Amino acid sequence: MPRCLLYLALTLTLTGAANGQVAVELLNMPTRVHSFEPVYVLYSIENTGRAPVYLPAEGEPGRGPAVYFAPSGQTPRWTGLSGDRVVQHSEEVAWLAPGERWLLYEDISYWLGVLEGEVSVQAVLSSNGRCGNKQVAGKQSFPIEPLFIETLEVGAKRYPVYRCWEGEARSNTWTLVVEKPESVVDKEAHDYLVRNGALLHDEETGRWLLIRVAGLEDRYPSSHYTYAFLARGTSSADRNRRAIAIQPNHHLNSWVKAAIARDMLTSGFSETAPSQLEHGLAEMDLPRGVGEYLRQHAWNLKHRPHLREEIRE
């Protein structure tokens, strides 16, 4: 085939990357927690079409992959921060080959902000069709030149923009039950948090916020509030370990252990990390599907050196 016809065929094939078929599935998550405790959601994005698909892989702008939620009976919606962005495209992207599935794992408790009640949870991929070229997901790479749209200049920086998948794909919906802690120690911890201004209600968003307060862990180590603060995804790995140490029988520990394992892979990656991970997975007793996510994360760190460079920076 002449080179020009070959390029045309490639262009037509990859043009389908902007209109490919995508499926999102919520795979696993806790279904019952106490106020502010971590809610790790495992979900997947799969290319169900016959051509590679170019997707946004960051949460903003254009949104990309995210977890939506709302009170039970309402349609789950985006609750994160949205604001004016200088660059209105997703710089981080994923190339998914036909049939390829990519997993994501995130704690939504910070944005959840619910003291008690039932919540509908859904994973969503949305895109404005404008992406960059920083590939952070997908085991294969394909030419992106046929998808080029323009180069944006912001000050001294230049950002190439490519046409990618556009639209919205929603997963199945799960129900999360949030219970307010009612034990004696939890009520004492609650009063302590209120007195110290660490339990706040945001009137504008309707969210409840648990703020760090000195003395909580020492005074009330067995409280659900203490576990919630130490174990959530925005806490350090050291605090996550402390949560497990002081409440070793907590039913969410396996989810938190997975987050710790991810942090260890990310911060201390070596060429032997994937094999070391395999030895540790059997002992961790992780929730269903999370081991596959950690294997994928280890593969990504090994084969995409720029991810490790960003971590070191």
Q: What average pLDDT does the segment 45-58 reach?
A: 95
Grade residue 203 by pLDDT with cuts at 50, 70 and 90.
confident
How many domains does the chain divide into? 2
Q: What is the average pLDDT value for the chain, to the nearest integer?
A: 87
Backbone angles phi, psi at 85, to 5 degrees: -120, 140
Lowest-confidence region among 110-114, 134-138, 151-155, 280-284:
280-284
Residues 238 and 143 in one domain: no
Q: Is 259 exposed, middle or buried (0-12, 13-18, 19+ CB in 10 A)?
A: buried
Residues 83 and 146 in one domain: yes
Residues 160 and 222 in one domain: no
Backbone angles phi, psi at 95, to 5 degrees: -105, 120
For residue range 179-193, list pLDDT tens digits in order.
999 999 999 999 999
- pLDDT computed for residue 266 by the predictor: 84
Q: Is the pLDDT reported for residue 56 higher than 80?
A: yes
Q: Pairing between strand 32-34 and 157-179? A: parallel
Domain end point (choices 122, 157, 177)? 177
Residues 165 and 18 in one domain: yes
Q: Is the pLDDT reported for residue 154 higher than 90?
A: no
Q: What average pLDDT does the segment 117-140 reach?
A: 94
Domain end point (choices 177, 206, 225)? 177
Residues 43 and 146 in one domain: yes
Q: What average pLDDT does the segment 155-167 reach?
A: 91
Structure tokens at 150: 């323009």
CB 200, CB 209: distance < 8 Å: yes
Grade residue 259 by pLDDT with cuts at 50, 70 and 90.
very high
Lowest-confidence region among 5-14, 33-42, 74-83, 216-225:
5-14
Q: What average pLDDT does the segment 121-130 reach?
A: 95
Nearest residue to 54 via CA among 7, 86, 13: 13
- What range does the domain containing 280 cover? 180-312
CA distances from 245 to 4, 39, 92, 238, 248 (A): 64, 19, 36, 10, 5
Q: How far apart are CA 305 and CA 177, in angstroms?
A: 40
Residues 53 and 172 in one domain: yes
CB 256, CB 242: distance < 8 Å: no
Percent of the chain with pLDDT over 90: 69
Q: Is the pLDDT reported for residue 250 higher than 60?
A: yes
Task: Compute the CA torsion angle 260, 263, 264, 270 (nearest 10 deg).
Answer: 150
- Which has more confidence, 61 or 77? 77
Grade residue 1 by pLDDT with cuts at 50, 70 and 90.
very low
Rg (Cα) of the chain, in Å, rounded?
21
Place of tokens 């106020």: 35
For residue range 226-247, list pLDDT tens digits in order.
999 999 999 999 999 999 999 9
- The angle, 0 to 180 degrees and rounded to 10, between the axes of the packed helices 253-267 and 273-284 is 170
- Which has more confidence, 226 or 281? 226
- pLDDT computed for residue 4 by the predictor: 44
DSSP string, 163-212: EEEEEEEEEEEEEEEEE---SHHHHHHHHHHHHTT-EEE-TTT--EEE--
- pLDDT computed for residue 242 by the predictor: 97
- pLDDT computed for residue 79 by the predictor: 83
For residue range 11-38, list pLDDT tens digits in order.
444 555 666 799 999 999 999 999 999 9
Residues 150 and 285 in one domain: no
- pLDDT computed for residue 5 by the predictor: 36
Residues 40 and 90 in one domain: yes
Domain end point (choices 118, 152, 177)? 177
- pLDDT computed for residue 260 by the predictor: 93
Residues 18 and 36 in one domain: yes
Residues 167 and 204 in one domain: no
- pLDDT computed for residue 82 by the predictor: 56
Structure tokens at 40: 């790790």
Residues 197 and 290 in one domain: yes
Lowest-confidence region among 27-36, 77-86, 159-168, 253-262:
77-86
Grade residue 88 by pLDDT with cuts at 50, 70 and 90.
confident
Residues 249 and 207 in one domain: yes
**Polymer length in residues for the chain:** 313
